[in-house]
Amino acid sequence: MMMSTTDAFLTCHGTPNTNIVPTIAASISSSSSSSTTTTTTSRTRTISSSSRKMSSLAVSASSSSTSTSTSGTSTSSNNDNYDIVHVDLSDGRDYPIYIGTSYSDEQASSMLSSHVHGNKVLIVTNDKIAPMYLEKYQKLLSADQEGKDVVTLVLPDGEEYKSMEILQLILDKALEETLDRKCTFVALGGGVIGDMVGFAAAIYQRGVNFIQIPTTVMAMVDSSVGGKTGVNHPLGKNMIGAFHQPQCVFIDTDTLSTLPDRELQSGIAEIIKYGLIRDAALFEWLEDNMDLLLKRDPSATRYAVKRSCENKAEVVKADEKEAGLRATLNLGHTFGHAIESGSGYGTWLHGEAVAIGTAMAATMSAELGWIDPDLVQRTYRLLEKANLPVELPVDSPMDRATFLRYMAADKKVANGQLRLILLKGPLGNCVFTGDFDQTAMIKTIDEFVAECCGPNS
């Protein structure tokens, strides 16, 4: 059944007019045409650490390295060990994302200290990360200034601890240590720690400064940027939270050396997402360089993280509070969240479920006739190259009813209408819309369910 045109959702302008969808599609893509890329350039500034001279990327030759340097969104040289991507926001809340490798202690310490206001710092991490990195960051944050008091809190590791109860421990610690409103919270870890510490910073004494030090690919390319913070509620993931932007994001890609392969691959699903929704050049680069990324090649990693942060920064700048455009970052997430929740906790990592969801979104987009079937093939091939799943296993408990039940609870449902991010047009273009033929969605779900459990289970 076709949804009514008046129900059609429109992103940026909020006008319920289906005719506008092509315009929206164009405005939310970035990519392929050089004129659009130029616009992109003016919105996000990326500055190399030293000379700021334009040069081709140090990463292995590929279509996108040429295109990126041509566009002027990035500069890099063989001598530099970091880039800075700026998140431009209103009201003086701009902040830098440092993305680098092999930082000297002096470099890291001075970068971090320049964003610490006040004398008291609370570093929060978990019991997996603490033995590897806590002492180092405690030293770096203490090094620059006499009399700085750096205290630490180590929480249990796991998504199940991203809760109000554990959040309370952060607030307790801050009060016990008599941290005042000028203190700085530091989140050292993956997305779980980043989201929870960011939320604690948002509500402690009505808001204190915080710094993100992400240590997973997922956190480096997505969760640490953009100020979405929060915890889970027993009745829903990320249901309690606030928008609260950090003072800076400090990324040392060397920390990925200890990240398990599966976690690395899970984060790559979000990088592929940026390519599909708005950055064709990045997608093409990934097609050529996935092996390097999986091997954690420092240049390739730095490039992929930087491009992802540039994409995220541009989207956040244009739509900080998710009035429309920011929702496009959820490609594959509505199907993915249903898979994550419906399969039982711990079955899938977030990026793995998103990978299957992305395969579903691409399949459905082709079913609607919105993209060329060749793009579906390329999407599957790239996800598989990253060792990500593109189908449900035979023993999956997911069936059509379970999909629909979880999808109906999605945050993007408005006035009872389900809205999805779907691909439309050439690579790098998408739409966020409720105006689609539902039979295509049901057919897609049935196809994926049938692959595991027989037709229409």
Active site residues: 206, 228, 270, 312, 322, 326, 330, 333, 337, 350
Residue entry with tokens 């006008």: 15
Map the footprint of ligand NAD across residues 131-160, applying CB under 6 A. Answer: 157, 159
The span from the CA of 63 to the CA of 52, in Å, is 22
Q: How far is CA 11 from CA 44, 391, 403, in A?
A: 21, 29, 24
Map the footprint of ligand NAD across residues 419-438, applying CB under 6 A. Answer: none
Member of 98, 174, 184, 189 binding ligand NAD (CB under 6 A): 189
Q: Does 219 bind ligand NAD (CB under 6 A)?
A: yes
State the amino acid at position 419 in one-letter form.
R
What 3-state DSSP class applies to 375?
Answer: helix
Member of 11, 173, 174, 190 binding ligand NAD (CB under 6 A): 190
Candidates 185-193, 340-348, 352-360, 382-390: pick the segment binding ligand NAD (CB under 6 A).
Answer: 185-193
Candidates 29-37, 211-219, 272-280, 399-407: pick the segment binding ligand NAD (CB under 6 A).
Answer: 211-219
- Reading the block at residue 403, the tokens are 């999909």
Residue of 15, 108, 100 whose CA lies nearest to 58: 100
C-beta of 354: minimal distance to ligand NAD in Å? 9
What is the x/- site pattern for ligand NAD, positions 252-281, by CB under 6 A? ---x--xx---x--x---------------
C-beta of 134: minimal distance to ligand NAD in Å? 12
Maximal CA-CA distance, the chain: 68
C-beta of 349: minimal distance to ligand NAD in Å? 7
| CB atoms near residue 188 (< 10 Å) | 29
Member of 128, 148, 385, 443 binding ligand NAD (CB under 6 A): 128
Nearer to ligand NAD, 220 or 375 (CB): 220
3-state helix, strand, coil in the chain (%, to 5): 50, 15, 35
The span from the CA of 56 to the CA of 68, in Å, is 8
3-class SS string, 227-270: CEEEEEECCEEEEEEEECCCCEEEEEHHHHHHCCHHHHHHHHHH
Q: How far is CA 306 from the centre of its chain?
A: 12
What 3-state DSSP class applies to 122?
Answer: strand
- Reading the block at residue 385, the tokens are 């190259």
C-beta of 259: minimal distance to ligand NAD in Å? 4
What is the x/- site pattern for ligand NAD, positions 347-376, by CB under 6 A? ---x--------------------------
Q: Does 334 bind ligand NAD (CB under 6 A)?
A: no
C-beta of 268: minimal distance to ligand NAD in Å? 11
Member of 82, 140, 210, 226 binding ligand NAD (CB under 6 A): 226
The span from the CA of 354 to the CA of 218, in Å, is 12
Residue of 100, 148, 99 whose CA lies nearest to 123: 148
Q: By rule CB under 6 A, what count of residues binds ligand NAD? A: 27
Member of 195, 320, 322, 352 binding ligand NAD (CB under 6 A): 195
C-beta of 148: minimal distance to ligand NAD in Å? 25
Q: Which DSSP state fits 414?
A: B
Q: Does 221 bind ligand NAD (CB under 6 A)?
A: no
Question: Which residues have C-beta within 8 Å of that of residue 44, sequence separation ≥ 6?
Answer: 73, 85, 86, 88, 310, 313, 314, 317
Nearest residue to ligand NAD, using CB?
A: 191
Residue of 15, 21, 9 whose CA lies nearest to 424: 21
Member of 129, 271, 361, 445 binding ligand NAD (CB under 6 A): 129
What is the x/- site pattern for ligand NAD, positions 87-116, by CB under 6 A? ------------------------------
Q: Which residues contribute to the site for ligand NAD (CB under 6 A)?
A: 126, 128-129, 157, 159, 162, 189-193, 195, 215-216, 218-219, 222-223, 226, 228, 238, 255, 258-259, 263, 266, 350
